[in-house]
Chain A
Amino acid sequence: MADLPVPTLPWAHPLESRRARLEDVSAVRQELSAPVAAVDLRLDPAGAGPAAVAAVVGGPLPERPDTWTALPAGLALRLGPDEWLLTSSRARPEDWEFGVDEAALAHGGSAVDVSAQRTSLRLRGQRARDLLASCCALDLRPASFPRGRCAQTLLGQSAVLLVAHDTDDLQLFVRTSFAGYVADLLVDAAHDF
């Protein structure tokens, strides 16, 4: 039998069908972020584990609750006392998981590939915080949610992970199956701006 080419689906952002509606919003620029490799790391924060993982991912893990640190090609977000989300825009998901898991395993921790779990939107503009605040109860003013902060919370009825990159630059991670709801919510809320 002749070798047939293996058909592969081209990757599309889960919000691709809403791209035009998001771009129509003029007050806040809403970009569909490219996919990243992501692992969920569970690890004892007290031992030598975090330093060992830091050496593998190329940057320190955030120490304080609800903060993030920059990695060479991604983010290290603190999700809980013993939980981090580590992303990389360069690594292949399986390599990213393997490398982090190997480092964590030696210290009783574990890492699981969650690249397909969340998708992401980037919100830029002076009104970006106002737009998010219109459907979120957190205090998102720059003084209490400055660059370096992140938070898991509710946006409307959907759980989201908010990341503050700058005063007028925020990122939103959301479960893929809730992404459409969140995008529609933001487009709807932006009518008031």
Chain B
Amino acid sequence: MQLISCPWCGPREEVEFSYGGQAAVAYPEHPAALTDEQWARFVFFRDNPKGPFAERWVHAAGCRRWFTAVRDTRTHRFVSPSEVTS
């Protein structure tokens, strides 16, 4: 099974983690000013690159911390050291 490196706990089994989707999706500054389509784009639309992808992960069965990691979607390999962010 794949090991994922938690920035706090170190390498742990993949099953201890949950996926949180694309990282750095900014909340709209003026949500009320958006059209329905713009709001739907914020809520539902995500990048789907073939290659490195910055993602949110949570170490659910360990330290319960969220972190951002870059994973290559072609190989499932984590390509950068992950960072703890709150």
A residues apposed to B, CB below 8 Å: 65-66, 79-81, 83, 137-138, 151-154, 159
Contacts and interface: CB of A to CB of B under 8 A. Distances in A.
A154 B64 CA distance: 13
Contact of A80 (B1, B8, B15): B8
Contacts of B62: 151-153
Given A65-B9, A80-B8, A154 B61 contact: yes
Contacts, number: 36
Contacts of A138: 12
13 contacts: A65-B8, A65-B9, A66-B10, A80-B63, A80-B64, A80-B65, A81-B65, A137-B1, A138-B12, A151-B62, A152-B9, A152-B63, A154-B16
Given A137-B13, A151-B9, A159-B61, 18 more contacts: A65-B8, A65-B9, A66-B10, A80-B8, A80-B63, A80-B64, A81-B8, A81-B63, A81-B65, A138-B12, A151-B62, A152-B9, A152-B61, A152-B64, A153-B12, A153-B16, A154-B13, A154-B15
B26 to A, nearest CB: 24
A185 to B, nearest CB: 15
A80 B67 CA distance: 13
Nearest to B84: A81
B13 A66 contact: no
Contact of B61 (A79, A80, A153): A153
